[in-house]
Amino acid sequence: MFENRFHGRVAVITGGASGAGKAVAARIVAEGGRVAIWDQDASGANAACGDTGAALAIGADVTDAESIAKATDETVAALGRIDILLNSAGVTGPTTPLTEYPVDAFHKIVDIHLNGTFHCCRSVVPQMVRNGYGRIVNVASIAGLRGYAYVTAYVAAKHALVGFTRALAMEVIQKGITVNAVCPGYTDTDLVRGAASAISAKTGRSEDAVVQEMIRTNPQGRLIRPEEVAETVAWLCGPETDSITGQAIAVAGGEIM
C-alpha cells in the first residue's frame, strides 16, 4: 500500500455504500485521498463515510441526469475538484429465461449499469478535462467478458459497459484521462449474497448450494474478496498507470484467460 499515493486527489464512488465500492473508498482514503460516496441509499452512504473515513456522502440516483449533475456540483463545491470516478452502482436482477424476463426489470438493469455510467461520466468528465487529469474505472463484471444463461439483461448491460469504456477511452486519450473497466468474478458482497438468496427462493436449493455453484466457475474455487477488486482499482487510479487505458481487466481467479 502506498501511504500518500492519492494525496491531493478527490474520488467519487457511486454505489459506495457497500461492496466493492465501499472497499475502494477505504483504500483511497488510506492512501491519502478524499472520497465522495454517491449512493441512492443516502443513509447507507453516510454510514459508509463513518466506516471508511470518506469526506462526503451524497444521496444520488445514477439513472437521473439531474441528480448526478447536482451531486457533481455539490462535490466540487465541498472538495474542490474531481480526479477519480469509480462507477460501481449496480443491481443483479432476476435469474429468468429470456421469454419470461420482465420487461421493466430488463430496462432497470440497463438503466443503472449502462445509462447510469453514461450520466456520471457525462457530468464528471468536463471537470477532469479542465484539470488535465482523470481516472475513470467502470465495474463491468466478468459478465462483461462472457455469457451466462438466464441473466440476459445483466450480461448485455455489462458487455455494453465494456464497449462504452473503450469508446470513452479513445475520446479522452489525449486529455490526461484514462478509462478502464474491472471485471470481477463472483465477489463476496451483499449483492452476490442477495442474488444467491433469490435463486434459492426460486429453485428450492439452499443458499450455500447456490454459492458453491458460483464458486465452481472460479478455477481457484472461491469468491473474490472486495479488497482484491479495490487493489486493482487503486492501481488503475494511481499515478503509475498513465499508459493503461481502454482495458477490461478480469479479477476472477482465472475464469477468463
Catalytic residues: 154
For residue 137, report the phi and psi dihedrals to the nearest 5 degrees: -130, 125
Radius of gyration of the chain (CA): 17
DSSP 8-state secondary structure symbol assigned to residue 112: I
Characterize 182-213 residue by residue with b for buried, 16 or more Cβ atoms within 10 angstroms of its Cβ, and e for exposed.
bbbbbbbbebbeebbebbbeeeeeeeeebbee
Asked if residue 94 lies in contact with residue 198, where contact means CB atoms within 8 angstroms, the answer is yes
Distance CA 229, CA 57 (A): 22
Distance CA 157, CA 161 (A): 6
Cell of 91: 443491481
Asked if residue 131 lies in contact with residue 81, where contact means CB atoms within 8 angstroms, the answer is yes
DSSP 8-state secondary structure symbol assigned to residue 147: -
